[in-house]
Amino acid sequence: MKASIVLAADDPASLARFYGALLQTKPRPGLSPTHWRLAWPAGGFLELYAPGRARPQAQQQGRLALCLQQEANGEDPEARLERWIEEALVLGGALLEPARLEPFGAEAWLRDPEGNRLLLLVTP
């Protein structure tokens, strides 16, 4: 059995570049010209596709979000997170809430270039 995370996108290639840069992995073409995939760190793939006209998918906030996580590896988690946020902003992301330190690590909520919620988390 295999598992993937599937994300509808208006511009799958562009969104694949955004997540590829944040995940430090190269996007690969998928099963059609409007499908891209990236290796997901926990296994499987992040699948990005353009929905067909017969089944459009409107952008929506929802409660589901991707969480990208890094370990601080001895570095200050907040400092590492701030650099990661800056990278996401340069790539077209938008900060929803300022970064904050929680007992489990430093986190920040963003939107990707197509408006999907994204949590960046740096654990100690």
What is the per-residue pLDDT across 20-74, written as a single tens digit (0 to 9) for each? 999 999 999 998 999 999 999 989 999 999 877 666 566 666 677 899 999 999 9
In a domain, 83, yes or no: yes
Both tokens assigned to 106: 């430093």
Q: The domain containing residue 12 runs over which residues? A: 4-49
CA triple 95-98-104, angle to 5 deg: 110
Both tokens assigned to 82: 């701030």
Question: 72-108 pLDDT, tens per residue?
Answer: 999 999 999 999 999 999 999 999 999 999 989 999 9
Domain count, the chain: 2
The domain that holds 32 is classified in CATH as: 3.30.720.120
**pLDDT computed for residue 57 by the predictor:** 65
**pLDDT computed for residue 86 by the predictor:** 98
